[in-house]
């Protein structure tokens, strides 16, 4: 399994536009084959920071995601909303179990 996590800091005056964009992106992405979980969350200490959390079946599914039309649109629209460079990491997980 592949996990993607990180954060995106948004300009305060662009918050509402960013919310619309990430909600649309998440809805489109969750329809993709191999997408197990794809959400943006608001940081309770910083409302202009969106936390990113994704789970993918495998690397091929994640790489296919990068080629979708909605990812292209997202990457075109996001820069105008950013307060700083996003920090996004990919993690490869070999096992996972409930606590």
**C-alpha closest to that of 58 among 94, 19, 84:** 94
Instruction: Give residue-wise pLDDT tens across range 57-90.
Output: 999 999 999 999 999 999 999 999 999 999 999 9
Domain membership of residue 98 (yes or no) is no
Instruction: Give residue-wise pLDDT tens across range 20-46.
Output: 999 999 999 999 999 999 999 999 999
Q: What is the residue range of 78's domain?
A: 2-92
Domain membership of residue 42 (yes or no) is yes
Domain membership of residue 24 (yes or no) is yes
Say how many domains are in the chain: 1
Domain membership of residue 99 (yes or no) is no
Domain membership of residue 97 (yes or no) is no
Q: What torsion do the CA atoms of 38, 82, 51, 45 make, to the nearest 10 degrees?
A: -150
Q: For the chain, how many residues are written? A: 99
Which pTM was predicted? 0.93
């Amino acid at each position: 399994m592949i996990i993607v996590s990180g954060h995106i800091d948004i300009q305060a005056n662009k918050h509402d536009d960013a919310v619309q964009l990430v909600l649309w992106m998440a809805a489109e992405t969750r329809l993709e084959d191999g997408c197990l979980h794809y959400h943006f969350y608001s940081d309770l200490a910083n409302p202009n920071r969106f936390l990113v959390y994704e789970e993918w079946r495998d690397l091929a599914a994640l790489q296919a995601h990068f080629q979708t039309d909605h990812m292209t649109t997202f990457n075109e629209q996001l820069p105008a909303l950013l307060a700083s460079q996003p920090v996004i990491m990919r993690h490869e997980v070999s096992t996972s179990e409930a606590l």
